[in-house]
Structure 1
Amino acid sequence: MTHLDLTGAEVLLPGGLRVQTVSFAQGIMQAEQVGRIVDLTGFLVLPGIIDLHGDAFERHLAPRRGAMKQMNEGLIAAEAELAANGITTAVLAQFVSWEGGLRGLDFADQVFGAIRATAPDVVTDLRAQLRFETHMLDLYAELPDRIRQWGLSYVVFNDHLPHDRLAAGKTPKRMVGQALKAGRNPDVHLAMMQDMHARRGEVPAALDALCAILAEAGVQMGSHDDQTIEDRAIWRGRGVRVAEFPETQAAAEAAHAAGDAVVMGAPNVVRGGSHNGNLSAVDLIAMGMCDALASDYHYPSPRRAALMLADTGLCDLAAAWHLVSAGPAKVLGLADRGTLAPGMRADMVILHKDSRRVAATLAGGQFSYLSGEIAERFIG
């Protein structure tokens, strides 16, 4: 395994950037120099990005319907994209949803199996998250066993049923296209949605029981798109302590006040707001109520968001980068990563100082990405 001393670079420490030697051996950060010296003058060395929720890997698994038959190869392509964007730990968020198709149970079973099979052969630490649609009542009995078989430690609950339109007796928007993508007759698909909506009164008790089982098994749980203080209180009562992408300031404030982790989307920062008009991540960060930023649907966004936050002066670089490194590590309970302190995993991203583009990424002391001029410095 690589033993290197990186000199000349500006290194991101809790107090900010400072020219300092970075040493690592056997995949662990070291306090003293240990090996071959590599001059990285003109570069920045920062902790590796920890992405605790992203689904951009989907396009690598199925770039066109039916086009990808070897899912493992799709995951390897996704890992290459993650590494090129400085991500050293990635939580791949896979739906199990009534929508079917790429979000159906059968596809999820294949994805989770492929992640378990592929993860040992790649450098980036790949982990899986289940995003479960709460109104799929017929799956509740078997779900704990499936989660155990899939080897999952993180489950997030969603409800994307268009309840307002269903309650009004209207056909949901894009329903026909959605049904056809799932391989269902549109009438059958609509009847399924109507039935789930009609049984919505059974969901709270079913969730209470399911969350109790998962909590007992040590599974971390999150809720998606909380809207109200009451929503967050109910989820917290079930042991669901991560609030992913709360839609309102009230829900985010309630989560923060109770010590629940608040996760927002990095694209929200890059775009200057939510793509669907929900709570602004920048506003929440300014109020000190955001614990971590996730890629959501765009892997370049965590790096870009952190740099933008520092450039605008909303927070310094150390605080901004914390949102994509040590912050996510804390949310996930990964005490061995997130900073460049001695004893931590040697996870780091090296940026060109001027362009701040990714030049190299190392996870556990191994290169997952290396491109351009910097390669000559390491190889020469």
Structure 2
Amino acid sequence: MKSNPYDSGAGAKSATVLGNARIVLADRVIERGWVAMDGGHIAEFGEGQAPAGSDDAAGDLIMPGLIELHTDHLEAHYVPRPKVHWDPVAAVVSYDGQLATCGITTVLDSLRIGNEADVADASGQAEILATAISSAREANLLRADHFLHLRCETPMPSTVEEAKRLIDRPDIRLMSLMDHTPGQRQFRDEGKLRDYYRGKTGGFTDAQLDEMFARRHACQLAYAETNTRAIVSLAHEHGIPLASHDDTTDDNVREAIRDRVAVAEFPTTIEAARGLHRVGIGILMGAPNVVRGGSHSGNIAAVDLAREGLLDILSSDYVPSSLLMAALQLPQHVPAIDLSAAIRTVTKRPADAVGLSDRGEIAVGKRADLIRVHVAGNASVVRSVWREGLRVA
């Protein structure tokens, strides 16, 4: 049996070594190997029998911690029922615990910028939630590493003012250009949007929706273009990557190119995805889309994009557990995508997209953000989670 070079003597281990595992590297899988964490980083990994005294992973997968670029799931913890606002720090801690147990070790918390108070209780709360995230971080209450993603709804009159109040925060890693005006992008079919709001609000009449849609159209005409130019300028001035959202047409693609976006979130058509891919813009799709077998809005299926080589990044969006599920399912849907390539869509590629080059893969010197995953048939469970070498779940 190999000696353990990570043993400090007298039986006390100075590092954690995980053995008897399938190690998911960025470019291949070690079917039986081991990985050592020391000082918060990956110290070494190898094939075959692990050093003596290593922890037995019982053949489970060891992979990088998942990296999430777009989830607004925090809002479900902050507003668990209509008109019920939970303690914001407690909401952040609860949400963080759910992410960690789903294998997410780095998350960009998506905060709504641009007040949509007529349809969403969590609108206009970005500053409260950003402050709560900082408070939880400073109190060492968080398991995952949290950054911010400002979701800027460009047709809303308050968008630029709200963004400016947050823009100097050092934890902002992404800003996205949103426009949910009825009749275009995600909701080209206004009937789908009506169904969405009826289900979300539980009781809007057609007359009320007509009034809401009229207000949205008026706001888009009055504010969208001016706000878009201001948000793009803010992002570039502060060196923050930009994302487009729900690109649908060739005009949307041209706008994304003009605005120098790094990531295109949830393109709705194959034509838009092809155009974005041609110019090197990373394409992000929803993991629930993969798990469900299609878009809940009737748009392009993520798996169809994957079959054409047009899928770069997955996001859990509104179901945290879907991120790991979708990555593990991708090779079944698209045989050309092996396990390493599938896991890159939820680790290395999202990390690279927002400049987090210190994580996202098992490589010597990278952060020791790792997860142990047990797979049984089509089901899986995250058994253990380490962030910077410390067990957090």
For normalisation by structure 2, the TM-score amounts to 0.82
3-state secondary structure, aligned to 2:108 = strand
Going from structure 1 to structure 2, the CA distance change for 1:142 and 1:43 (only over 3 Å counts) comes to closer
AA aligned to 1:18 is E
Going from structure 1 to structure 2, the CA distance change for 1:138 and 1:193 (only over 3 Å counts) comes to farther
CA distance in 2, matches of 1:353, 1:175: 34
Q: Name the structure 2 match of 1:102.
A: 121
Deviations 1:152-174 (A, max 9, x none): 2311111112258xxxxx9x948
3-state secondary structure, aligned to 1:60 = helix
How do 1:275-354 and structure 2 match up within 5 A?
275-312=296-333, 313-354=335-376
3-state secondary structure, aligned to 1:102 = coil
CA distance in 2, matches of 1:50, 1:176: 30
Q: Name the structure 1 match of 2:152.
A: 132
- 191-200 or 117-126, which moves further after superposition? 191-200
Matched, 1:362 2:386: yes
Q: Name the structure 1 match of 2:42.
A: 29
CA distance in 2, matches of 1:327, 1:278: 23
Contact 2:372 2:384 survives alignment (8 Å): yes
Matched, 1:162 2:186: no
Deviations 1:302-345 (A, max 9, x none): 11111111234341111111111111111121111111111001
CA distance in 2, matches of 1:300, 1:316: 21
- 155-164 or 291-300, which moves further after superposition? 155-164
AA aligned to 1:3 is A
Contact 1:75 1:118 survives alignment (8 Å): yes
Matched, 1:263 2:276: no
CA distance in 1, matches of 2:219, 2:323: 39
Q: Name the structure 2 match of 1:4.
A: 16
AA aligned to 2:65 is G
Going from structure 1 to structure 2, the CA distance change for 1:180 and 1:302 (only over 3 Å counts) comes to closer
For normalisation by structure 1, the TM-score amounts to 0.85
Gaps of 5+ in 2: 1-12, 185-190
Going from structure 1 to structure 2, the CA distance change for 1:175 and 1:30 (only over 3 Å counts) comes to closer
Matched, 1:45 2:62: yes
Going from structure 1 to structure 2, the CA distance change for 1:2 and 1:211 (only over 3 Å counts) comes to farther
Going from structure 1 to structure 2, the CA distance change for 1:363 and 1:192 (only over 3 Å counts) comes to same
More helix by percentage = 1
How do 1:147-296 and structure 2 match up within 5 A?
147-149=167-169, 151-162=171-182, 173=194, 190=211, 194=215, 197=218, 200=221, 203-296=224-317
Contact 2:36 2:44 survives alignment (8 Å): yes
Given the alignment, which residue of 119, 131, 142 partners 2:137?
Answer: 119
CA distance in 1, matches of 2:288, 2:266: 11
Going from structure 1 to structure 2, the CA distance change for 1:180 and 1:44 (only over 3 Å counts) comes to closer
Q: What number of residue pairs does the alignment pair up? A: 358
- 80-89 or 149-158, which moves further after superposition? 149-158
AA aligned to 1:12 is V
CA distance in 2, matches of 1:296, 1:347: 21
Q: Name the structure 2 match of 1:57.
A: 74
3-state secondary structure, aligned to 1:304 = helix
Say what the alpha-carbon RMSD is for the aligned residues: 3.0
Gaps of 5+ in 1: 165-169, 370-380
**Residue 196 (structure 1) shift:** 5.6
CA distance in 2, matches of 1:95, 1:48: 26
**Residue 118 (structure 1) shift:** 1.5
Going from structure 1 to structure 2, the CA distance change for 1:356 and 1:216 (only over 3 Å counts) comes to same
CA distance in 2, matches of 1:157, 1:360: 36
Q: Name the structure 2 match of 1:15.
A: 28
CA distance in 2, matches of 1:352, 1:205: 50
3-state secondary structure, aligned to 1:8 = strand
CA distance in 2, matches of 1:290, 1:47: 19
CA distance in 2, matches of 1:141, 1:124: 29
AA aligned to 1:305 is A
Going from structure 1 to structure 2, the CA distance change for 1:346 and 1:135 (only over 3 Å counts) comes to same
CA distance in 2, matches of 1:150, 1:30: 29
Contact 1:102 1:108 survives alignment (8 Å): no
Contact 1:306 1:324 survives alignment (8 Å): yes
Going from structure 1 to structure 2, the CA distance change for 1:70 and 1:288 (only over 3 Å counts) comes to same
AA aligned to 1:302 is L
**Residue 285 (structure 1) shift:** 1.0
Contact 1:99 1:179 survives alignment (8 Å): no
Given the alignment, which residue of 133, 146, 164 partners 1:144?
Answer: 164
**Residue 273 (structure 1) shift:** 0.9
Going from structure 1 to structure 2, the CA distance change for 1:198 and 1:267 (only over 3 Å counts) comes to closer
Given the alignment, which residue of 51, 67, 87 partners 1:70?
Answer: 87
Going from structure 1 to structure 2, the CA distance change for 1:138 and 1:179 (only over 3 Å counts) comes to farther
